[in-house]
Amino acid sequence: MPDQTAPADARRFGPWAGYLVVVGSMIGAGILSTSGYTLRDTGNPAGLLAVWALGGVLAVCGALTVAELATTLPRSGGDYVYVRAAFGRGTGVVAGWAGFALGFAAPTALIAHMALAHLVGPFAASLSGVFPWWNTEVAVKGGATLLVTAVALGHTLGHRHSAWLQTGATLLTVAVLLALSVGGLLFGRGSWTHFEQGGWPRGDSWPALAIGLIYVGYAYAGWNGAAYIAGELRDPARSLPRCLVGGAVTVTALYLLVNVAYVYALDPAGMTTRPRGDVERVAELAAAALFGSDFARATSAALGLSLTAAVSAYLLTGPRVAYAMARDGAFPAYAGRLHPVRATPAAATLTQAALAVGLLWSGTFEQLLSYTTVGLAALTGLTIASVFPLRRAALPRPYGLPLYPLPPLAFLVLTAWTVGYALYDDKTREPALWGLATIAVGVPLARLLPDVRPASSDPR
């Protein structure tokens, strides 16, 4: 029987599992909704593609930086481990607690909600006609609760089950998006003349593009996914840079291709006249324009199933943060125990699932998205900033990020601009402040919780 307090770092995951965790973590709700809002508010396809390209550059810069951090400190726990090593235990606790809520539990709730919305949405009208008591929102949240619970239980069964679940769900996600984009461009009813609209953004388009960049940045979140299982990844010095950077580049290319398909399918001028509620599920709109309503319903259902990959990725990586913190005395001790037979952080996984379900029922999809975005951006910026003090520390560095310090500086400049604009703009100020308030809650926790990190803690 394995020691329940031993580190969860038996190196059971291979490089493909790490790569698929990155891809699965990144592809979530953002690519299925954000572009619709940007096209509606600007009618500018060039601006839309530029925002997504800039978001991809930001993700690759972040992945390059975290590749150095993760190979320097190849331990399970991700951001918490790097921020603690760079800025001290107190700052690490703040980042860990807020990251567990904003970076894992909230995205789990968001993506599960969107998965069920895509599964149930096309059939809601029919179901309402058959069942007078039918309530779509309750059905979506109830189904999302079951999805989160089932995936969490799957990850408690063992590393092999986790790898199979993540591989299958991620490959399904990529296949659906490729079918929509490549199939749509080759065989769909669209028009390349849509790309001629817009031109250089007008003055009133810049604020909408700025808000679009905020949400695009969130859509790329997850490029650091493999770092959270660094302590369980075989040959991390070689595998981590390939997983992190390769995953970020793959998803950037896929996102740009999908957005090209959106513009090809949807007339940007027509999008500006649609009600805001109609453009949220832009992937389904594009599918309907390309192939008709029957195909759109099938695509919506397939997208709902494919989002299981992101739910799986967050429920695989997030518990490693709680586990690492619990072993340092910065989280309830039960989360630092492994399952006695399967050697998985089962208690931490179920804790994240419970928090995600609570957030799922706490408000609307839009409220939860706005609450999460800015706080997560600020936390990620803190993680990237860790590279500067750790560069000065006497630590082995198996991988050095190229063009240092340009990638982390570029990331931090764009992140600071994103957070600053969100606080400036009336539409995003209040939820942005709530997200930052969540981070602030960690400050008194850091002072109250004792440091009980074992002196002999495994360096992995």
**For the chain, which residues score pLDDT lower than 70?**
1-12, 124-125, 127-134, 158-163, 165-166, 203, 341-342, 446, 449-460
User: What range defines the domain where residue 225 resides?
Assistant: 15-448
Residue 453 lies in a domain: no
Residue 9 lies in a domain: no
Per-residue pLDDT at 458: 38
Q: How far is CA 413 from CA 216, 314, 317, 384, 388, in A?
A: 16, 27, 27, 11, 15
Per-residue pLDDT at 1: 31
Q: Domain of 53: which CATH number? A: 1.20.1740.10
* CA separation for the pair 455, 460 (Å, rounded): 14
Q: For the chain, what is the domain count?
A: 1
List CB contacts of 44: < 8 A, sequence separation 6 or more.
197, 198, 199, 201, 205, 209, 268
| Each residue's pLDDT tens digit, 343-364 | 778 888 999 999 999 988 887 7
Residue 457 lies in a domain: no
* CA separation for the pair 332, 334 (Å, rounded): 6
Total number of residues shown for the chain = 460
Per-residue pLDDT at 238: 81
Residue 294 lies in a domain: yes
Query: Token pair for residue 352?
Result: 């994240």
Per-residue pLDDT at 262: 94
Residue 387 lies in a domain: yes
- Give the H/E segment covering residue 251: helix 236-265
Residue 58 lies in a domain: yes
In 3-state terms the chain splits into helix, strand, coil percentages (rounded to 5) of 75, 0, 25
Per-residue pLDDT at 307: 83
Residue 189 lies in a domain: yes
> Is the separation of the CB atoms in 223 and 313 below 8 Å?
no
Sign, Cα dihedral of 424, 430, 434, 440: positive
For the chain, the average pLDDT equals 82
Residue 10 lies in a domain: no
Phi, psi dihedrals of residue 281, rounded to the nearest 5°: -100, 70
